[in-house]
């Protein structure tokens, strides 16, 4: 499980981009309560989804199209899959 800042470092996405992806329900998190705040936790599989979405987003696709392309690639990886 990764916290949002760890996920941002790992994927190259900003914390704001990750929050946006979560709001759009492109990715999922679980939340836990620390002493005075709530913390998001993400599965490692979410990191790969974010990397793919960001890859397509950086190529100029809209968020929705980037998500669709990433989902296709995530669901059906190819032998020649490159980042």
Number of residues that this document lists for the chain = 83
pLDDT of amino acid 74: 83
What is the enclosing helix (H) or strand (E) of 40?
A: strand 38-42
26 pLDDT tier (thresholds 50, 70, 90): very high
Taken in order of first residue, the domains within the chain and their CATH numbers are 2-75 (1.10.1660.10)
Which tokens in the block code for residue 52?
A: 């793919």
30 pLDDT tier (thresholds 50, 70, 90): very high
- List the one residue out of 49, 48, 30 whose CA is nearest residue 40: 30
CA 42 vs CA 27, 28, 60, 81: distances in Å = 9, 7, 26, 23
Calculate the average pLDDT of the chain. 89
At 32-73, the pLDDT tens digits run 888 888 888 999 889 999 999 999 999 999 999 999 999 998
pLDDT at 11 over 80: yes
For residues 22 and 38, the answer to whether their CB atoms sit within 8 Å is no
């Amino acid at each position: 499980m990764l916290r949002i800042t760890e996920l941002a470092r790992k994927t190259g996405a900003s914390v704001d981009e990750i929050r946006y992806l979560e709001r759009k329900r492109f990715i999922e998190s679980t939340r836990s309560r620390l002493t005075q705040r709530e913390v998001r936790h993400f599965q490692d599989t979410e990191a790969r989804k974010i990397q793919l979405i960001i890859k397509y987003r950086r190529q100029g696709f809209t968020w929705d199209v980037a998500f669709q392309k990433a989902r296709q690639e995530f669901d059906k990886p190819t032998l020649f899959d490159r980042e």
